[in-house]
Amino acid sequence: MPAAAERHGDPTAHDSTTHDHSPDRPAPRQLPRRPVDTLNAAGDLLRALAAPVRIAIVLELRAADLCVHELVDALGVAQPLISQHLRVLKAAGVVRGERHGREVVYRLVDEHLSHIVVDAVAHVEEGERR
C-alpha cells in the first residue's frame, strides 16, 4: 500500500504528492502556509473572544467607548465579572483602557476584531432564521 494511502485518515500527516480530482471539481487554490506562531496567536485571540460576556463587551464597545460601570449597566453583569473579562480582552490586545479622572474608559484596539464578533453573531442569527 502506498504511504499516502496509509496516512489518508491522519489529519496530521502531510503528503507532498499531488492528488487526482474529479474532472468537474476545480483544483483547490494553493495558499501560503502561515507560520505556526501566527496560527497560535490567532487561536489565542479567538479564545479570548470566546465567551458570551466578552462578545457582548466587544459589541457594546463598537458603539461607544465605555467605562466599567457603563458596561455593567448595559449588560446587567456584576462589576467584578466585567472587570475580569476586560482584563482578558486587554491581555489579548482586543481593548485598551485610558484613565479619565477616576474612571478608566475602554475602547476597541481596532475594528478588525469587532468584525470577527459581528460576523460570528450574524452567522448564528442567520442560522436561526432558516
Domain boundaries, the chain: 36-129
Among 66, 61, 50, 40, CA closest to 121: 50
Give the span between the Cα atoms of 123 and 110, in whole angstroms. 21
Q: What is the pLDDT of residues 13-72, one digit of tens each?
A: 455 556 676 788 887 888 889 999 999 999 999 999 999 999 999 999 999 999 999 999
Flag whether pLDDT at 8 surpasses 90: no
pTM across the whole model = 0.75
C-alpha 69 chain-centroid distance: 25
* CATH level 3 topology of 36-129: Arc Repressor Mutant, subunit A (1.10.10)
Nearest-CA neighbor of 101 among 74, 128, 127, 67?
A: 67
Only one residue has cell 471539481, namely: 25
